[in-house]
Amino acid sequence: MKVLEIGGHTGFQAAILAAWGCQVLSLDIDVPCGGRQYFDVMQYDGLHLPVADAALDAIYSSHMLYYELDTPEFFAELRRVLKPAGLAIHIMPTSVWRVATCLTYYPYAVKRALVYLAQLAEETSQFAVTANPNTAAVGAAATRIKWWRRLFAGPLGPAPSAWAEFLSWRRTELKRLFTREAFEIIDVCPLRIFYTGYGLFSNSLPFGVRRLLSGVLGSASAAYITRRATGE
Protein backbone atom coordinates (compact mmCIF):
# COMPACT_ATOMS: atom_id res chain seq x y z
CA MET A 1 0.00 0.00 0.00
CA LYS A 2 1.02 3.57 -0.64
CA VAL A 3 0.44 5.37 2.66
CA LEU A 4 0.74 9.02 3.60
CA GLU A 5 1.27 9.82 7.27
CA ILE A 6 0.49 13.39 8.30
CA GLY A 7 2.09 14.60 11.52
CA GLY A 8 4.98 12.15 11.48
CA HIS A 9 7.21 13.96 14.02
CA THR A 10 10.05 11.48 14.75
CA GLY A 11 8.71 8.93 12.27
CA PHE A 12 8.06 6.30 14.94
CA GLN A 13 4.71 5.19 13.54
CA ALA A 14 5.87 5.60 9.93
CA ALA A 15 8.66 3.12 10.68
CA ILE A 16 6.08 0.60 11.87
CA LEU A 17 4.00 1.08 8.73
CA ALA A 18 7.11 0.62 6.59
CA ALA A 19 7.97 -2.56 8.51
CA TRP A 20 4.56 -3.92 7.54
CA GLY A 21 5.52 -3.51 3.88
CA CYS A 22 3.84 -0.17 3.13
CA GLN A 23 5.37 2.49 0.92
CA VAL A 24 5.29 5.40 3.34
CA LEU A 25 5.60 9.15 2.89
CA SER A 26 5.62 10.91 6.26
CA LEU A 27 5.02 14.66 6.56
CA ASP A 28 5.07 17.22 9.34
CA ILE A 29 5.16 21.00 9.55
CA ASP A 30 7.81 20.84 12.29
CA VAL A 31 10.39 18.06 12.01
CA PRO A 32 12.60 17.67 15.13
CA CYS A 33 16.23 18.62 14.57
CA GLY A 34 17.70 16.70 17.50
CA GLY A 35 17.07 13.35 19.12
CA ARG A 36 16.37 10.00 17.55
CA GLN A 37 14.62 9.94 14.18
CA TYR A 38 12.96 6.60 13.34
CA PHE A 39 11.97 7.44 9.77
CA ASP A 40 12.70 10.15 7.24
CA VAL A 41 9.98 12.76 7.77
CA MET A 42 9.55 15.51 5.16
CA GLN A 43 8.63 19.05 6.18
CA TYR A 44 5.64 20.66 4.43
CA ASP A 45 3.49 23.77 4.76
CA GLY A 46 0.63 22.12 6.63
CA LEU A 47 -1.81 22.33 3.73
CA HIS A 48 -0.48 21.39 0.28
CA LEU A 49 0.34 17.69 0.06
CA PRO A 50 3.30 16.89 -2.25
CA VAL A 51 1.46 13.93 -3.77
CA ALA A 52 -0.09 13.35 -7.21
CA ASP A 53 -3.85 13.09 -7.66
CA ALA A 54 -5.44 9.76 -6.66
CA ALA A 55 -2.05 8.28 -5.78
CA LEU A 56 -2.64 6.92 -2.27
CA ASP A 57 -4.23 3.79 -0.87
CA ALA A 58 -4.41 5.23 2.63
CA ILE A 59 -3.83 8.37 4.70
CA TYR A 60 -3.00 8.07 8.38
CA SER A 61 -2.81 10.68 11.12
CA SER A 62 -2.54 10.43 14.88
CA HIS A 63 -3.55 13.29 17.15
CA MET A 64 -3.17 16.05 14.55
CA LEU A 65 -6.53 16.39 12.80
CA TYR A 66 -7.80 18.82 15.46
CA TYR A 67 -5.43 21.39 13.98
CA GLU A 68 -7.34 21.25 10.67
CA LEU A 69 -10.99 20.91 11.70
CA ASP A 70 -11.81 24.38 10.36
CA THR A 71 -9.75 24.11 7.16
CA PRO A 72 -11.87 22.87 4.23
CA GLU A 73 -8.83 23.20 1.92
CA PHE A 74 -7.05 20.52 3.95
CA PHE A 75 -9.87 18.01 3.47
CA ALA A 76 -9.98 18.90 -0.22
CA GLU A 77 -6.31 17.91 -0.41
CA LEU A 78 -7.08 14.60 1.31
CA ARG A 79 -9.78 13.87 -1.25
CA ARG A 80 -7.49 14.85 -4.11
CA VAL A 81 -4.64 12.47 -3.23
CA LEU A 82 -6.75 9.46 -2.21
CA LYS A 83 -7.70 6.76 -4.68
CA PRO A 84 -11.48 6.32 -5.06
CA ALA A 85 -11.39 3.28 -2.75
CA GLY A 86 -8.68 4.70 -0.47
CA LEU A 87 -9.03 5.04 3.29
CA ALA A 88 -8.28 7.98 5.56
CA ILE A 89 -7.69 6.86 9.16
CA HIS A 90 -7.50 9.55 11.84
CA ILE A 91 -6.79 8.87 15.50
CA MET A 92 -8.39 11.61 17.58
CA PRO A 93 -8.59 12.35 21.31
CA THR A 94 -12.10 11.85 22.65
CA SER A 95 -14.23 14.09 24.83
CA VAL A 96 -13.37 11.62 27.63
CA TRP A 97 -9.70 12.60 27.27
CA ARG A 98 -10.64 16.27 27.31
CA VAL A 99 -12.65 16.00 30.53
CA ALA A 100 -10.07 13.77 32.26
CA THR A 101 -7.25 16.11 31.27
CA CYS A 102 -9.16 19.11 32.64
CA LEU A 103 -9.71 17.32 35.96
CA THR A 104 -6.10 16.17 36.32
CA TYR A 105 -4.89 19.69 35.54
CA TYR A 106 -5.28 20.70 39.17
CA PRO A 107 -3.10 18.03 40.82
CA TYR A 108 -0.65 18.63 37.96
CA ALA A 109 -0.73 22.38 38.67
CA VAL A 110 -0.05 21.76 42.37
CA LYS A 111 2.88 19.55 41.47
CA ARG A 112 4.26 22.17 39.08
CA ALA A 113 3.71 24.94 41.64
CA LEU A 114 5.74 23.10 44.26
CA VAL A 115 8.59 22.65 41.79
CA TYR A 116 8.33 26.31 40.77
CA LEU A 117 8.40 27.53 44.39
CA ALA A 118 11.46 25.43 45.11
CA GLN A 119 13.23 26.90 42.08
CA LEU A 120 12.08 30.39 42.97
CA ALA A 121 13.44 30.10 46.50
CA GLU A 122 16.78 29.01 45.09
CA GLU A 123 16.96 31.82 42.54
CA THR A 124 15.52 34.74 44.55
CA SER A 125 18.78 35.82 46.12
CA GLN A 126 20.59 35.83 42.77
CA PHE A 127 17.74 37.75 41.13
CA ALA A 128 17.73 40.36 43.90
CA VAL A 129 21.42 41.08 43.30
CA THR A 130 21.47 41.11 39.49
CA ALA A 131 17.96 42.10 38.33
CA ASN A 132 17.16 45.41 36.70
CA PRO A 133 14.27 47.04 38.69
CA ASN A 134 12.52 48.09 35.48
CA THR A 135 12.68 44.53 34.12
CA ALA A 136 11.29 43.18 37.38
CA ALA A 137 8.36 45.62 37.21
CA VAL A 138 7.50 44.55 33.67
CA GLY A 139 7.63 40.89 34.66
CA ALA A 140 5.33 41.52 37.62
CA ALA A 141 2.84 43.32 35.38
CA ALA A 142 2.82 40.43 32.91
CA THR A 143 2.20 38.00 35.78
CA ARG A 144 -0.79 40.05 36.98
CA ILE A 145 -2.28 40.01 33.50
CA LYS A 146 -1.92 36.30 32.89
CA TRP A 147 -2.36 34.65 36.30
CA TRP A 148 -6.05 33.88 35.75
CA ARG A 149 -5.25 31.73 32.74
CA ARG A 150 -3.59 29.26 35.06
CA LEU A 151 -6.89 28.51 36.82
CA PHE A 152 -8.12 26.36 33.94
CA ALA A 153 -6.64 23.74 31.64
CA GLY A 154 -5.86 25.18 28.23
CA PRO A 155 -6.68 23.69 24.83
CA LEU A 156 -4.45 21.11 23.20
CA GLY A 157 -4.79 22.57 19.71
CA PRO A 158 -5.80 25.90 18.15
CA ALA A 159 -9.31 25.95 19.65
CA PRO A 160 -10.03 28.98 21.88
CA SER A 161 -10.63 26.85 24.98
CA ALA A 162 -10.76 23.33 26.38
CA TRP A 163 -14.56 23.61 26.37
CA ALA A 164 -14.53 24.33 22.64
CA GLU A 165 -12.40 21.22 22.13
CA PHE A 166 -14.81 19.13 24.18
CA LEU A 167 -17.69 20.22 21.97
CA SER A 168 -15.87 19.75 18.65
CA TRP A 169 -14.37 16.36 19.58
CA ARG A 170 -17.69 14.69 20.33
CA ARG A 171 -18.43 11.82 17.98
CA THR A 172 -21.59 13.45 16.67
CA GLU A 173 -19.70 16.63 15.79
CA LEU A 174 -16.88 14.78 14.06
CA LYS A 175 -19.40 12.75 12.04
CA ARG A 176 -21.04 16.00 10.98
CA LEU A 177 -17.62 17.41 10.05
CA PHE A 178 -16.64 14.43 7.89
CA THR A 179 -20.01 14.52 6.13
CA ARG A 180 -19.60 18.22 5.41
CA GLU A 181 -16.13 17.59 3.99
CA ALA A 182 -17.39 14.81 1.67
CA PHE A 183 -16.08 11.86 3.67
CA GLU A 184 -18.13 8.95 4.91
CA ILE A 185 -17.29 7.12 8.12
CA ILE A 186 -16.86 3.38 7.76
CA ASP A 187 -16.25 2.77 11.46
CA VAL A 188 -15.23 4.46 14.69
CA CYS A 189 -12.93 2.26 16.79
CA PRO A 190 -12.22 3.23 20.42
CA LEU A 191 -8.59 2.32 21.13
CA ARG A 192 -9.51 0.94 24.57
CA ILE A 193 -6.92 2.78 26.58
CA PHE A 194 -7.26 5.53 29.20
CA TYR A 195 -4.75 8.32 29.72
CA THR A 196 -4.70 12.08 30.26
CA GLY A 197 -2.58 14.91 28.94
CA TYR A 198 -0.47 15.28 32.06
CA GLY A 199 0.85 11.78 32.70
CA LEU A 200 0.47 11.93 36.48
CA PHE A 201 0.73 8.13 36.76
CA SER A 202 2.65 7.41 33.60
CA ASN A 203 5.19 5.20 35.36
CA SER A 204 2.79 3.35 37.64
CA LEU A 205 -0.21 2.42 35.49
CA PRO A 206 0.54 -0.46 33.09
CA PHE A 207 -1.40 -0.84 29.86
CA GLY A 208 -3.54 -3.61 31.32
CA VAL A 209 -4.82 -1.26 34.01
CA ARG A 210 -5.36 1.50 31.46
CA ARG A 211 -7.45 -0.87 29.35
CA LEU A 212 -9.57 -1.75 32.39
CA LEU A 213 -10.03 1.96 33.16
CA SER A 214 -11.13 2.60 29.58
CA GLY A 215 -13.91 0.06 30.06
CA VAL A 216 -15.21 2.09 33.00
CA LEU A 217 -14.31 5.67 32.16
CA GLY A 218 -14.18 5.48 28.37
CA SER A 219 -11.39 5.42 25.82
CA ALA A 220 -9.09 8.44 25.62
CA SER A 221 -8.77 8.17 21.84
CA ALA A 222 -10.54 6.64 18.88
CA ALA A 223 -9.74 5.83 15.27
CA TYR A 224 -12.07 7.31 12.64
CA ILE A 225 -11.91 5.15 9.52
CA THR A 226 -13.21 7.13 6.58
CA ARG A 227 -13.26 7.22 2.79
CA ARG A 228 -14.29 9.66 0.12
CA ALA A 229 -18.05 9.96 -0.10
CA THR A 230 -19.73 8.19 -3.00
CA GLY A 231 -19.56 10.35 -6.10
CA GLU A 232 -16.47 12.23 -4.97
pLDDT in tens, 74-108: 999 999 999 999 999 999 999 999 999 999 988 88
pLDDT in tens, 153-186: 889 999 999 999 999 999 999 999 999 999 999 9
- Least reliable range by pLDDT among 4-8, 170-174, 198-202: 198-202
On the question of pLDDT at 129 being above 80, the answer is no
Concatenate the DSSP letters of all residues of 47-89 into one string.
S---S-TT-EEEEEEES-GGGSTT-HHHHHHHHHHEEEEEEEE
pLDDT of residue 34: 82
Distance CA 141, CA 91 (A): 41
For the chain, the structural domain boundaries read 47-96+158-228
Distance CA 135, CA 179 (A): 52
* Architecture of the structural domain at 47-96+158-228: 3-Layer(aba) Sandwich (3.40)
Q: pTM for the full model?
A: 0.84
pLDDT of residue 185: 97
Distances (CA, A) of 215 to 79, 92, 204: 34, 18, 19
Distance CA 206, CA 111 (A): 22
Residue in 53, 52, 63 with CA at minimum distance from that of residue 5: 63
| SS3 (DSSP) at 113 | helix
% of the chain residues with pLDDT over 90: 70
Q: Where are the alpha helices (DSSP H) in 87-206?
A: 95-130, 133-146, 162-168, 171-180
On the question of pLDDT at 138 being above 50, the answer is no
